[in-house]
Structure 1
Amino acid sequence: TVPVTMDEMLHHAKAVAKGARRAFLVGDLPFMSYQADKAEAIRNAGRMLKEGLMDAVKLEGGGQDTETIRAMVAAGIPVMGHIGLTPQSISQLGGYRIQGRTAESAHRLLEDALALEEAGCFAVVLELVPSEVAKIVTDKLRVPTIGIGAGNACAGQVLVYHDMLGLFDEFQPRFVKRYAELGPVIRQALEAYRDDVAARRFPAEEHTYEIPPDELEAFRQRVDG
């Protein structure tokens, strides 16, 4: 997620908003769109609401980002926090590793969650955290937690739909449950389409439109002179 730009995220956000009717939409602020200074953070978060048509923004980070979050909230921007495994900081974390597996690191997660709540976050995402730790954090907060790879004690859950629907099969994280295997179905359909086009089986007669015979004859006479 590090290479994604603000403009790219706005494009994606608007596409989602166009098809949404009742969903509460949260736009993910990309790397370096809010870290440089509070003024830039407010501008970019505001763009996510004004241009991206989002209802709120989400940002990764713990206690070190509370002043930025306070500034956003003071500007009227709803903010969702995100702690645990934070993909934009994956190099600092040493890869895709479970967070909060020691008493010290679990306590830091709780402190970060409480700091985000105090700064004004309306919810906090907990990613790749032991279920027992996620439950304690959830119980200590007044705002909802949203879990991904954090057990079933969180107030809500999120999964990447590509994983959920089996669209991506190179690997499957332990926390993912596949509710369908659409990848092979889609691949089979695309290959069948390719083969039909190559063999001129598609489009068939039932997929085409006709011109009245007399009009066709008149057209041919004009073409042939």
Structure 2
Amino acid sequence: MSVHPAESTAPAARQAMSLPRLRDLAARGEKLTMLTCYDATFARVLEDAGVEILLVGDSLGNVIQGDTSTVPVALVDMEYHTRCVARGKRSAWLVADLPFGAYERSPEQAFDSAVKLMRAGAQMVKLEGGGVLVDTVRFLTERGIPVCAHLGLTPQRVHALGGFRVQGRDDAGAAVLRADAKAMAEAGAAMLVLELVPSSVGRQITEDNPGLLTIGIGAGASTSGQVLVLHDLLGITPGKRPRFVRDFTHVPGSEVGLGIRDAVRTYVDDVKALRFPDESIHGF
């Protein structure tokens, strides 16, 4: 079966995203949008719908490879999918996850792994964890590698956390998250994903660190932006959907759902208009 390229119907090219441009958007009060992406075709679709940041997430272990966690994902997998997305995207900012086992041993190991993802086309790498990784973040940023930190629920450590549970519910847990976020910012992290934390903690961390771009997933509406796993947004992830996730293909009162492009555009529009996430159902 052959595939023949159709005439381009893509909108005019947007201004290329960069860290200064993302910071400028956030400073002007515009919410940023991020979605996971694993191939060239979806890179174009998401970008054309207005998504500013593409994340080649190790969530590909779940939604692409069929594993029950992100732990089995290897660095070579991340390189492959990062290269695919980089070939498809034109203007979006591209972040790639450092997978489990590729950065924890030492800052030098993290640097070697990050270089492979940057050579594959990433513009920033993401790593999961708090204070123990401060030196690693500093080591990377001092050598010109932009870093996105990830606090709260860290899926690579889900077994140690006892499952997919909200983090930072009590005062002590919230204080640890706030301290870790500040330490990451001071070490040079430019972006921070906050996953499954109370709305109040997401707000406090964002207010504490005005130079840090905070991206929430189950962290309330007060962060600089939002991220979802693409397959969750499209309502095709097997199993029970977390309550902070919305199926954007669903049209209330209609038996006909939205197509992929319109669903992604609705996500972008709703994040920017503060219609998503819905604080009334966040409830942590």
TM-score (norm 2): 0.63
C-alpha separation in 2, matches of 1:95 and 1:167: 22
Match of 2:228 in 1: 159
Match of 2:190 in 1: 122
- Residue 35 (structure 1) aligned with residue 113 (structure 2): no
Size of the aligned set, in residue pairs, is: 184
Q: Percent identity?
A: 46
Match of 1:172 in 2: 241
AA of the residue aligned to 2:93: F
Question: How far 1:74 moved relative to its partner?
Answer: 1.1
C-alpha separation in 2, matches of 1:93 and 1:169: 22
C-alpha separation in 2, matches of 1:37 and 1:154: 30
**Cα deviation digits, residues 178-205 of structure 1 (max 9, x gap):** 1115xxx9xxxxxxxxxxxxxxxxxxxx
**Cα deviation digits, residues 107-160 of structure 1 (max 9, x gap):** 000000001001100011100000011101110012110000000000010001
- Taking structure 1 as reference, are residues 169 and 5 closer, same or farther at Cα in structure 2, changes over 3 Å only? closer
Higher alpha-carbon Rg: 1
The DSSP-based 3-state class of the residue aligned with 1:36 is coil
Q: Which of the pair is proportionally richer in helix?
A: 1
C-alpha separation in 2, matches of 1:82 and 1:64: 13
**1:1-225 to 2 correspondences below 5 Å:** 1-50=70-119, 52-142=120-210, 143-180=212-249
Structure 2 gaps of 5+ residues are: 1-69, 251-255, 257-284
The DSSP-based 3-state class of the residue aligned with 1:163 is helix
- 109-118 vs 36-45, greater mean Cα deviation: 36-45
C-alpha separation in 2, matches of 1:38 and 1:168: 35
C-alpha separation in 2, matches of 1:111 and 1:55: 26
AA of the residue aligned to 1:112: D
AA of the residue aligned to 1:160: V
AA of the residue aligned to 2:237: F
Question: How far 1:169 moved relative to its partner?
Answer: 4.0
Question: How far 1:33 moved relative to its partner?
Answer: 0.4
The DSSP-based 3-state class of the residue aligned with 2:159 is coil
Structure 1 gaps of 5+ residues are: 186-225
The DSSP-based 3-state class of the residue aligned with 1:70 is helix
The DSSP-based 3-state class of the residue aligned with 1:158 is strand
TM-score (norm 1): 0.79
Larger RCO: 1 or 2 (CA < 8 Å, sep 6+): 2
